[in-house]
Homo-oligomer: A and B are copies of this chain.
């Protein structure tokens, strides 16, 4: 155990901290996504130019050749500096790196990492949510083109993206997950319609993608045919680690804000207030420590396994505890702070649904970590 930075890590953190001090935007983050998008994008590109993005990618594809540890330090420092929300792209580059041809890596990775081309993830479908292997979007090879038809939902930032890493069924005879392949789909292709999904809190982060006889070149297949499922599971497990997606920093910011509002109320906090706020604070420390542990295990042992479902369930639990604390402590329901917190709470309800529902995560843990016997379904 040593939670201190190594000398290299400390140097990295120091450089990053001073870069952030000089380069953070002075204007606050806009509230609506349509205004926030250019703001986020501008800062993300600036960070890339500064050498702070794609830290753990090889230098030849535009990364910094550093490690997961530096990625984690980045997340911490962004949170500490109250920096703009990052657009989560890193996990989408992973399958290009691991399964892409040399040409695909050269063509796609640098602009992806530079945020010059925005990528999104086309996995879920209306009939394939928790049961991803039931996906129905089909891809048929017609000469030197794949022809894709189907519908994707829950695509983060789909309305802003240029490319989609998309799963489609290429072998309709193979059972479920065996017949699936992954594709690089340029979203400007004819036959594609993108429609935003408005979340309960008004956010338009997600989109639906409709594909109607969309023709893409044969070389846009990623990996071999039927590699799709493995690619998807890889992406999903990267997505489940809290550090990658920068949630910890966001939660830290929320807690600081909530504690500030309690202080600003001028009321001496009673025991119930201390318990509520204390539980939220403890939750964040647990999440932070668990993320460090997972990170350390990944640094030593490679890509995360089924245990990442623990991270996901913990993240949901901590988020929902924090949101409930906010609703309880901000009891003047007519203030804008309460209203913003309520939006966060609503957004938090999605935490136990997307990226594999809480029920699916528990199935994974029971069967793949605890090795409990499968039910009659198997």
B residues less than 8 Å from A271 (CB atoms) = 270-272
Q: Which residues of B contact A376 (CB under 8 A)?
A: 375-377
Distance to closest chain B CB from A159 (angstroms): 37
Interface residues of A in 340-378 (CB under 8 A from B): 375-377
Which chain B residue has the least Cβ–Cβ distance from A276? B272
Cβ-closest chain B residue relative to A270: B271
Contacting residues, chain B, for A375 (C-beta < 8 A): 375-377
- How many identical chains are in the complex? 2
A303 at the interface (CB under 8 A from B): no
- Asked if A275 is at the interface (CB within 8 A of a chain B CB), the reply is yes
What residues on B are CB-neighbors of A275 within 8 Å? 272
| Chain A residues touching B, majority SS | loop
Interface footprint category on A = under 10
A residues 262-290 with Cβ under 8 Å of B? 270-272, 275
The residues of B that contact A270 with a CB separation of less than 8 Å are 270-272
The digit string for A241-273, where 1 denotes a CB below 8 A from any CB of B, is: 000000000000000000000000000001110
How near does chain B come to A324, taking the closest CB pair, in angstroms?
14
Q: What's the Cα separation between A275 and B377 when bound, in Å?
A: 44
- Whole-angstrom distance between the alpha carbons of A270 and B270 in the complex? 8
Docked Cα-Cα span, A271 to B273, in Å, equals: 9
Instruction: Provide the bound-state CA to CA distance between A272 and B375, in Å.
Output: 43
Q: Which residue of chain B has the shortest Cβ distance to A378 in the bound complex?
A: B376
Which of A272, A376, A377 gathers most chain B CB within 10 Å? A272
Closest residue to A274 on the B side, CB-wise? B272
Closest Cβ of chain B to A359, distance in Å, is: 14
Bound together, the chains give a CA A375 to CA B376 distance in angstroms of 9
**What are 12 A-B pairs with beta-carbon distances under 8 A?**
A270-B270, A270-B271, A270-B272, A271-B271, A271-B272, A272-B272, A272-B275, A375-B375, A375-B376, A375-B377, A376-B376, A376-B377
A: residues with CB less than 8 A from B are 270-272, 275, 375-377
In the A-B complex, the 5 residue pairs with the smallest Cβ-Cβ separation, listed nearest first, are: A272-B272, A271-B272, A376-B376, A270-B271, A376-B377
Given A270-B270, A271-B271, 10 other A-B residues pairs in contact with their CB atoms under 8 A: A270-B271, A270-B272, A271-B272, A272-B272, A272-B275, A375-B375, A375-B376, A375-B377, A376-B376, A376-B377
